[in-house]
Amino acid sequence: MEPAACKGRRGGRATAAVAKENIPGWEDDGRADVDFVKEGSALRIEANGLAETGPPPSSTPDLECDDQPSSVQCFTTYQVVRMRRSELCNHLTRLSLDTSGTKEVLRQRLKSYCQLEHRRKKGSEDQSACSKRPAIARGILHASELEPCAFNYICVVDFEATCQEHNPRDFQHEIIEFPVVLLNTRTLQIEDTFQEYVKPFLNPTLSEFCTSLTGITQETVNAADYFPEVIDRVVNWMRQKGLGTTYTYAILTDGSWDMARFLKIQCQLSQLPYPRFAKKWINVRKTFSYFFKLSREKTKLSHMLECLELQPEGRAHSGLDDSRNIARVAGSLLSRGCCLRLNESLSQGRVTAVRAAEALAATPVPYTPQHKHSRNSQSPSRLRI
């Protein structure tokens, strides 16, 4: 059976040079419009009404063939970003990949595929083995291709705090849920979780909006302990896991608010020094934005899950459920070859970028922050408000 013809259209100086070299009598009039038609082993070049058939010249751009999906060229990020939805669907269909989702999801799916193929072609010595692997649209790398993460574990933290429907500018948020999800960076599995609720003292009665948003009831916080006791148990749990001693680890959050605002305000209210182990962290939104070349506006948790083709699990604005979903995002990023680095820190009360030389530095051993005054300073009457 005669193989199907493969067509490609190119313009500009490069194609003009190819046409001039291969088609006798063709002159460049500044409007190069060249069709390359592959017919079997020969190449037919059509330009401005003139044509010539012969072996493909070495300078001819890569052609795309409908019956050879494995030969589809890997596009650059710039090319993918400029594609219309119909073009994205067409390329994904030829690769036997899913075409569902928003235009941004389709874009990310094709970019992930191209990034994976680029890594395979660049780093693999056995091309035949690579060609036998199934095409993975999501860009998930084989375990042997993953670079080891600088940290053995990632501690994902996503606080829930007191709030009102319309918070005043000077509203003091108090932490009411302290979750930690432990992600193993080698297995990419969640190994353990910690969760405790915290009793607020500045605004001990939760607003209806806060209860509706977080699902945390007044009875739950009434039965909880104050923050100093809870963070002491958090630290003991982390030390039991060998974090900072046997294993290296890093804190990871969804944005800057958890460490730079919620934890900072809570430590001030509880008259505790800010814990050293939480002064540097990984802002997964920044990492996601940089890795996938997306704007910061497109890095909300729901959008990250959608782009990574992950279904949200649990209840939105539940600290533990959100932390689990954030951990799944982090694990998915690692599976695509993303390097998780410390990228934010709290310095003199302000969020600053972590210097490159310190981005992979070990996080200190967790210690319980000591009260600045007496041992009873955790009681509401002794706290500085």
205 closest CA partner among 220, 193, 185? 220
**380 vs 29, 295, 344, CA distance in Å?**
83, 43, 32
352 closest CA partner among 256, 239, 275, 210? 256
Residues 6+ apart with CB under 8 A from 377: 228, 270, 271, 371, 383
Is 160 a residue of the active site? yes
Euclidean distance between CA atoms 158 and 324, whole angstroms: 9
Of 46, 117, 160, 344, which is the active-site residue? 160
55 closest CA partner among 46, 37, 44, 42? 42
Tokens 């044509």 sit on residue: 51
Q: CB of 252 within 8 A of CB of 330?
A: yes
Taking every pair of Cα atoms in the chain, the longest distance, rounded to a whole number of angstroms, is: 95
User: Count of CB atoms within 10 A of residue 200's CB?
Assistant: 23
DSSP-derived secondary structure for 58-95:
TTSPPP--TT-GGGPPPPPHHHHHT--HHHHHHHHHHT
Order of strands, edge to edge, in the sheet holding 34-39?
6-10, 34-39, 42-47, 50-54
Of 52, 87, 309, 317, which is the active-site residue? 317
Size of the chain in residues: 385
HSE-CB for 212 with a 13 A CA cutoff: 5
DSSP 161: E
3-class DSSP assignment, residue 100: coil
Give how far the C-alpha of residue 110 lies from the chain's centroid of Cα atoms, to the nearest Å: 16
Which residues on adjacent β-strands are paired with residue 196? 178
Euclidean distance between CA atoms 263 and 369, whole angstroms: 12
DSSP 260: I
Residues with catalytic annotation?
160, 317
